[in-house]
Amino acid sequence: MGQPDVVIQSSAVAPVISVIVPVRNGARDLARCLSSLMMARGGNLPVELIVVDNGSTDDSPGIAVAHGARVLSAPGLRVGAVRNVGVREATGPIVAFVDADNEVGATWLMGCLDALSGADVGAAGLQYEAPPDGTWVQRQYDLLRWRPSTRRDTDWLSAGNLAMRRDVFQQLGGFDEALEACEDVDLCARIRRAGLRTVAEPSMRSIHHGDPRTLGALFLGELWRGRDNLRVSLREPLRLRSLPGIVLPILTLTLLVALPLTAVAAMTISRLPMVMTLVSLAGIAILRAGVIVRRGHLRSLGAWVRSLAVATAFELGRALALLGRASHHTRTRPQTA
């Protein structure tokens, strides 16, 4: 006998978990997201759905109401602040965050509860999966993510697929509303500094339909995501495994700035500096491409070329983010195939 559907909160039943979904003009994806949450199995688990609308001009609020969600209005705020608004209105002892362009798996709700049953666990989640019918860019990009087959400790969980106890969230002050991006990296670091674990939970599968479909979209996504990367990374003590995320964007940007100077030198003095600069830039991209190839067990020359293209777009976006002030709107501009 199958388990009954999740029961959306009614006035007679207190919720066990409050799921907060931020949205802005996400009508195309929101219905799928909320339907997946309603279909996730959890016995008679009462669930509170809260959609926080960030100033939509489409029918996102109406779709949320039609799926049994409570709608809050929070226009003009950064996404971390939007999520904080949802938590302030949540009534469940556990709060979970799912982005509107995500689709959760059937075991997601029970996975949240099971992973958070340990008193030493501060947050649980899992890195996204690419759409099953995704483009080659989405498939290669997905190989940069780490998803263990058993529950494992991790340094970072994405805010679009994250659950934690509400009292812990409030004690830590929630998401840093001053951050445009990397607010999830910052929150996870504060959880660990509080002596709690952040765990990757395999049963919390979530497909991210908003994954970048093209190299241009990937570049813009990292241009936005990387803007606060250095700022957040330097808030905690430096560790060996965190150094690549700090050093590589700085090194790439330095080489990009040096490239025009070495090109001038090549015409007047020597070509060696320009050659060394180009080789260094290529080496950084090859290191990232090697991660993709190794995780995907890829062997063909074509796979290497595609991996290198994705790695190059990734590294350029992260490096130039140190100079630019890309917004979330930049990342979410319409993608073309």
Burial of 73 (0-12, 13-18, 19+ CB in 10 A): exposed
- When pLDDT is averaged across residues 150-163 and rounded to a whole number, the result is 96
Q: Are strands 17-23 and 46-53 parallel, antiparallel or unpaired?
A: parallel
Question: Is pLDDT of 2 > 60?
Answer: no
Q: Sorting pLDDT into bands at 50, 70 and 90, what band is 230? A: confident
Is the pLDDT score of 336 beyond 60? no
* Confidence bin at 327 (pLDDT 50/70/90): low
* pLDDT tens for each residue of 102-118: 999 999 999 999 999 98
The span from the CA of 222 to the CA of 291, in Å, is: 17
- The residue-averaged pLDDT of 65-72 equals 95
Helix (H), strand (E) counts: the chain: 13, 11
Per-residue pLDDT of 291-325, as tens digits, reads 999 999 988 999 999 999 999 999 999 999 988 66
pLDDT for 3 equals 35
Which residues, in sequence order, are CB contacts of 199 under 8 Å at separation 6+? 115, 121, 123, 124, 151, 152, 153, 154
CB 163 within 8 A of CB 121: no
Average pLDDT over residues 250-261: 95
Residue 11 has pLDDT above 70, yes or no: no
Residue 299 — φ and ψ, nearest 5°?
-125, -30
Per-residue pLDDT tens over the stretch 134-153: 999 999 999 999 999 999 99
Res. 74 pLDDT band, cuts 50 70 90: very high
Predicted local distance difference test score (pLDDT) of residue 234? 76
Which amino acid does the sequence have at 27? A
For the chain, domains (ranges, CATH) are: 7-211 (3.90.550.10), 240-331 (no CATH)
Specify whether the CB–CB gap between 124 and 112 falls below 8 A: yes
DSSP character for 241? G
121 has a pLDDT exceeding 90: yes
SS3 64: helix
Confidence of residue 233 (pLDDT cuts 50, 70, 90): confident
pLDDT of residue 138: 97
Q: pLDDT at residue 189 above 90?
A: yes
- What would the two tokens of residue 224 be? 């936005």
Give DSSP secondary structure letters for 203-222: T--EEETTS--SHHHHHHHH
Q: Is the pLDDT of residue 91 over 90?
A: yes
pLDDT tens digits for range 22-59: 999 999 899 999 999 998 865 678 899 999 999 999 99
Pairing of strands 102-104, 7-8: unpaired
